[in-house]
Amino acid sequence: MSGKIRFAPSPTGFLHEGHLLSALYVWAAAKKWGLKIHLRIEDHDQSRMRPAYVEGIYEDLAWFGFHYDSESIQSKRWPLYEQAISKLEAQGLVYPCYCSRKQLEAENPKSETGEIVYQGKCLTRRETWFDRLTNREGRREIEPHNLRFIVPDKVIQWHDLRLGDFAENPKLQCGDFPIRDREGQWTYQFAVCVDDIDEGITHIVRGEDIRSSTARQIALREALGAKEPPIYLHHALISDSTGKKLSKRELAYSLRQEREAGSSPETLLGRVCFKAKLQESPTPLSLDQAISLIESRI
As measured in angstroms, the least distance from the Cβ of 169 to Zn ion is 20
Q: Where do the H-state alpha helices sit in 91-238?
A: 101-107, 126-131, 136-142, 170-173, 188-198, 214-223
Answer yes or no: are the C-beta atoms of 224 and 86 closer than 8 Å: no
Q: How far is residue 245's CA from residue 275's CA, in Å, rounded to a whole number?
A: 11
Q: With CB cut-offs between 5 and 8 Å by kind, which of ligand GLU, Zn ion, none does residue 192 bind?
A: ligand GLU
Q: Is the CB of 80 or the CB of 123 nearer to Zn ion? A: 123
Binding region for Zn ion (CB under 5 A): 97, 99, 121-122
Answer yes or no: are the C-beta atoms of 131 and 158 closer than 8 Å: no
Q: How far is residue 94's CA from residue 120's CA, in Å, rounded to a whole number?
A: 11
Q: With CB cut-offs between 5 and 8 Å by kind, which of Zn ion, ligand GLU, none does residue 42 bind?
A: ligand GLU
Binding region for ligand GLU (CB under 6 A): 8-10, 42, 192, 206, 210
Q: Is the CB of 59 or the CB of 89 nearer to ligand GLU? A: 59
Q: Is the CB of 74 or the CB of 108 nearer to ligand GLU? A: 74
As measured in angstroms, the least distance from the Cβ of 56 to ligand GLU is 13
As measured in angstroms, the least distance from the Cβ of 77 to ligand GLU is 14
As measured in angstroms, the least distance from the Cβ of 121 to Zn ion is 5
Q: Is the CB of 17 or the CB of 42 nearer to ligand GLU? A: 42
Burial class (CB in 10 A: 0-12, 13-18, 19+), 43: buried
As measured in angstroms, the least distance from the Cβ of 168 to ligand GLU is 16
Answer yes or no: are the C-beta atoms of 163 and 189 closer than 8 Å: no
As measured in angstroms, the least distance from the Cβ of 119 to Zn ion is 9
- When computed from its CA atoms, the radius of gyration of the chain, rounded to whole angstroms, is 20
As measured in angstroms, the least distance from the Cβ of 72 to ligand GLU is 13
Answer yes or no: are the C-beta atoms of 63 and 169 closer than 8 Å: no
Q: What SS3 state is found at 268?
A: helix
Q: With CB cut-offs between 5 and 8 Å by kind, which of Zn ion, ligand GLU, none does residue 210 bind?
A: ligand GLU
For the chain, the distance separating the N- and C-terminal CA atoms, rounded to the nearest angstrom, is: 16
Q: With CB cut-offs between 5 and 8 Å by kind, which of ligand GLU, Zn ion, none does residue 99 bind?
A: Zn ion
174 DSSP assignment: T
Q: Is the CB of 44 or the CB of 271 nearer to ligand GLU? A: 44
Q: Is the CB of 28 or the CB of 97 nearer to Zn ion? A: 97
Q: With CB cut-offs between 5 and 8 Å by kind, which of ligand GLU, Zn ion, none does residue 121 bind?
A: Zn ion
Q: How far is residue 200's CA from residue 229's CA, in Å, rounded to a whole number?
A: 11
User: Angle CA(87)–CA(172)–CA(108) in degrees, nearest 5?
Assistant: 100
Q: Is the CB of 192 or the CB of 224 nearer to ligand GLU? A: 192
